[in-house]
Amino acid sequence: MRKLVILGGGTAGTMMANKLRKALSRDEWEITVVDKHRTHYYQPGFLFIPFGIYNRSDVEKSKSDFFPSGVKVIYSDIDKIEGEENRVLLDGGQVLHYDFLIVATGTQTRPEETPGLTDKLWKKEIFDFYTIEGAVDLQKFFKTWEGGKLVMAISELPYKCPVAPIEFVCLADEFFTRKGIRDKVEISLVTPLPGAFTKPIATAMLSELLKSKNINVIPDFYIERVDNDKKVLVSYDQREVEFDALTIVPVNMGADMVERSGLGDDLNFIPTNKFTLQSEKFENIFVLGDASNIPTSKAGSVAHFASEILFENLMNTIEGRPLTAKFDGHANCYIETGFGKGALIDFNYETEPLPGTFPLPGIGPFGLLKNTKMNHYGKIMFRWIYWHILLKGKELPVEADMTMAGKKRVSL
Amino acid sequence: MANKEIAGKTVDVNADGYLNNPSQWDKDVAIEIAKEEGIELSNKHYEVIEFLRKTHESGETLTIRKVGKSGITDIKGFYELFPGGPLKISSKIAGIPKPSSCV
Ligand SMILES: Cc1cc2nc3c(=O)[nH]c(=O)nc-3n(C[C@H](O)[C@H](O)[C@H](O)COP(=O)(O)OP(=O)(O)OC[C@H]3O[C@@H](n4cnc5c(N)ncnc54)[C@H](O)[C@@H]3O)c2cc1C
């Protein structure tokens, strides 16, 4: 019996388990998935919880509902990977041997990495919405908050779903407008990036959008610490931003297990060939999703497009062919912009987000870099697609490779 | 691409003034670019620059965090050496490409 082990049964691991179980003979291949948690969270839904649009029950399902039959599932923490020995040690002492290993342990938030962040204001006036607990706490807080300086801050790059903080401030603008206290709420976005987003054309569009909503952007701000007494964020170059309520994306890091395995960089992301998705260190280890260091967004859509490439390359290597499938870094993100509208960006390693239309056969077109109602529906539909199509490893009507169809080349 | 005269040498720079070819770099070029940025280079600056060039050469992505863990300086010190945008400015002086923060 040959053995394939998948570490992490989140978005990426679940998709791969479904694709591979279908393709590999059950007589020849044993597939094992390891995850420490039994609940699968629809993380993109966390964004909507603080504003009462979604609740906990809208984003939680049992992981086991999404694993195909014929896959062995072990709920356990992972101690480490021993790449030289082709084996994984689990926390209870169990040992898993593998012919091929897929690492899909994602990225987690590390608030303790920022001095002062988890002090006395944590969960009282400082929140995150990247965890279910944080999102739920913030919903409670917003119900009675009477206004003041609301700061949305990003601690470190990279972090998953790079557009989520922009969406957060847009939804906050709508939420407090509807509550009738928008004039009492000053909203700011604090980012280590030089602007609202990395890519220049999208940044120009998004800056314009935020300005029109009276949301300040404070760029190039790299947070050193949080001063709980003065209620300020302090940057490494000693600038300060005051807050009454702080929502933060804490430092994102890969799993500690990656560090223990000697496989990670300084943030525990795994050096990975950005085209083939093979780990730089071991030929039979592949990395999918947020766990890798490939230079594209950490997003579910990216994991989805990459999963098609990884599937091809795994089949290639299993059947003795070279790794001919190449990932282009394709990312496709709906950006919720409030008041029932949304924007859509589509890009890859080479091409930054461009304006135009996105041709989704049968449903689209969606406006690229445009603020439309259709894009908002795209985001809302995404939850259904996520649970019913994406996780099951089924085909979406979107190609893994980015297409230039509908895009307009522009220069700034 | 454009050619620019720096410290008596013709070097190839991009629109933002970053060297397109790190091998055209030398200390005189560094001093000149630093001057344009209003920085007078000390030994500490050179240590950082050397670290940046080595890390870049090895194909690794540079981050402010990585420089802060280099043992040469911490992040605060890095900001003091290259005020404003430490990684952007130091990369320019070190003759390596402009850091692209990728999200
Ligand atoms: C607020 C928010 C909004 C988002 N919005 C969007 C969006 O609109 N569009 C989009 O495409 N993406 C979005 N994302 C990003 C998306 O959710 C992630 O990129 C995606 O889930 C990554 O999949 P993954 O499998 O790599 O990681 P995950 O889905 O996080 O899975 C990792 C799994 O590994 C397990 N694990 C980790 N360490 C260990 C260990 N040591 N032992 C055992 N198990 C372990 C975890 O329990 C988890 O189940 C959003 C994320 C957030 C937080």
Mutate to test the pocket of ligand 1, among A14, A19, A290 (most ligand atoms within 8 A of CB): A290
Over the stretch A166-199, which tens digit does the pLDDT of each residue have? 999 999 999 999 999 999 999 999 999 989 988 8
Domains of chain A (ranges; CATH) run: 2-50+59-106+255-318 (3.50.50.60), 111-252 (3.50.50.60), 331-390 (no CATH)
pLDDT of B103 reads 56
- Residue B86 inside a domain? The answer is yes
**Closest residue of chain A to B70, computed from CA coordinates:** A266
Q: What is the pLDDT of residue A411?
A: 59
- Does residue A298 have its Cβ closer than 6 Å to ligand 1? yes
Residue whose CA is at the smallest distance from ligand 1 atom 53: A130
Q: Identify residue A363 by its one-letter amino acid code.
A: I
pLDDT at A380: 86
- pLDDT, residue A290, reads 98
| A chain contacts of residue B102, beta-carbon cutoff 8 Å | 157-158, 198, 295-296
Q: What is the DSSP letter of A365?
A: P
> Would the CB atoms of B102 and A236 count as touching at under 8 Å?
no
Residue A147 and residue A181: Cα distance in Å, rounded? 7
Residues in chain B with pLDDT values less than 50: none
Q: Is residue B10 part of a domain?
A: no
Q: Which atom of ligand 1 is nearest to the CA of A63?
A: 49
Asked whether A248 and A155 are in contact (CB, 8 A), the reply is: yes
B27-36 vs B43-57: helix crossing angle, rounded to 10: 110
For residue B11, is it within any domain?
A: no
pLDDT at B101: 64
User: What distance in Å separates the CA atoms of residue A340 and residue A113, rounded to the nearest whole number?
Assistant: 36
DSSP string, A10-32: SHHHHHHHHHHHHHS-TTTEEEE
What pLDDT, on a 0 to 100 scale, did the predictor assign at position A396? 76
User: Which residue matches tokens 């999703």?
Assistant: A289
Domain count, chain B: 1
| Cross-strand bridge partners of residue A45 | none
| pLDDT recorded at residue A363 | 63
pLDDT of residue A213: 97
For ligand 1, whether the C-beta of A356 sits within 6 Å is no
Strands (E), A339-387: 341-347, 356-358, 366-368
CA of A36 to the centre of ligand 1 (A): 13
Positions in chain A whose pLDDT score sits under 50: none
* Token output for A110: 């590390």
A367 CB near ligand 1 (under 6 Å): no
* Cα B43 to middle of ligand 1, angstroms: 44
Tell me the CA distances in angstroms from A143 to A131, A167, B56, one per residue in order. 19, 19, 49
Non-local (6+) Cβ contacts of A319 within 8 A are none
Cross-strand partners of B6 = B9
B102 is annotated as an active-site residue: yes
Put simply, the answer to whether A266 touches B66 (Cβ < 8 Å) is yes
Residue B12 lies in a domain: no
Q: Show residues of chain B in contact with A194, CB under 8 Å.
A: 85
Find the domain containing B78 and state its range: 25-103
| Residue from A220, A224, A266 to probe the interface with B (highest B Cβ count within 10 Å) | A266
Per CB-CB distance under 8 Å, the chain A contacts of B60 are: 265
Atom of ligand 1 nearest to the CA of A333: 9
Using DSSP bridges, classify how beta strands A252-254 and A107-109 pair: parallel, antiparallel or unpaired.
Answer: antiparallel
Three-class SS of B50-94: HHHHHHHHCCCCCCHHHHHCCCCCCHHHHHHHCCCCHHHHHHHHC
Residues A60, A129, A351, A323, CA torsion sign: negative
Pairing of strands A126-127, A245-249: parallel
Say if B13 falls within a structural domain: no
Residues B85, A236: C-beta atoms closer than 8 Å? no
Total beta-carbon pairs less than 8 A apart between chain A and chain B? 46
What is the model's pLDDT at position A408? 78
